[in-house]
Amino acid sequence: MTQINLTSLQTLLPDAKFHNSETIKNVNFTGLTSLTLAGPTDISFVASKTFVNEAKASKASLLVVSEETAESLSDKAILVVPKVELATAKIIRIFFPEKQPSGKRSAQVAIDPSAKIGSNTDIGHFVTIGKDSIIGNDCIIEDGVKIGDRVQIGDGARIGKNCVFFDDTIVGKRFIVFGNSTFGGDGFGFVFAEGKHNKIPQVGRVVIGDDVEVGSNCTIDRGALTDTTIGNGCKFDNMVHIAHNCKVGNHVIIAGQSGLAGSVTLGNNVIIGGACAISDHLTLVDGTIIAGGSSLRTSPKTKDVYVGWDLGLTFPEFQKYRVNIKNIVNLNKWLKRIENIEKKVGIEAKES
């Protein structure tokens, strides 16, 4: 079992400030967990003021807190940090270190002789790698992964089980993907003629930047003529679909079950909530936020939070819209009551 002490934490988080740590200077911490589950050898964290009362009752020996909550917990042993979530992520990695490659290669693989595999890269069972493909150093390619011809995958990649990389796909460094995702399949392009749907060849590529993470069951389609591109630092949840010719900027977040139709352009630092649908050929400027469950058929003109169904409204505008709808419903009720009163008192309503 991994254990850490205060000295280890000070080395790990040099910018942190310890308060009331004298009482725990000899404690060997055995884990980081929630406030309610924590025991005497555990570290826990306080994400916001909402959890202060839980923190006061917690049995955790040490609490990771922000400046905002530190004063409310002055009688506890606390570790004050600029960003609680980031600090806890670093501590968790001490107790649960990432799997590291060892250069192990299964005997049940099919690798073309022209492919180049970097040093210290693991290759699991039943992996296939096509001709002229290049896999970087220190990668982990899990069981069942299929890599086509002329594919490039950068150093430090973690490729989950049964993922597929079609020909000519290019992936940057430190790429992470979980199981059953597909990159570089044909985009959805057809022309109806002569009584049938005729396929339009998709001859572009998928090009993915550095430090990108993709969940399970995602698809990123190759471009029709130009490439589909994903910028550095993007993070996609499970079941995200990126259609052909999309241009996704840097550090974009897309939550689960959301999809971009063809030729969408996303600026840097865009956030798209879960279950969103973005129509084709739209552009979202840097920093745009699309709330979960929204659909978009027009390009937002400015950076803002947008919400709704094909309305293109900012969040405040959508709130007004909802109020107006409610008022219209109530108005109809009042009109009916007025009509009933007029009938009772013998007033004859005249239509204008």
Active site residues: 244
Location of structure tokens 């910018």: 15
CA distance 138 to 100: 8
Strand ordering across the sheet containing 219-221? 110-111, 128-129, 146-147, 164-165, 182-185, 219-221, 241-242, 259-260, 277-278, 295-296
The span from the CA of 59 to the CA of 43, in Å, is: 9
- Which residues face 242 on adjacent strands? 220, 260
Residue type, 297: R
By three-state DSSP, how is residue 330 classified? helix
Chain-centroid distance, C-alpha 191: 34
Map 75-98 to HEC letters.
CCCEEECCCHHHHHHHHHHHHCCC
Alpha helices in the chain (DSSP H): 6-12, 52-57, 67-70, 84-95, 315-345
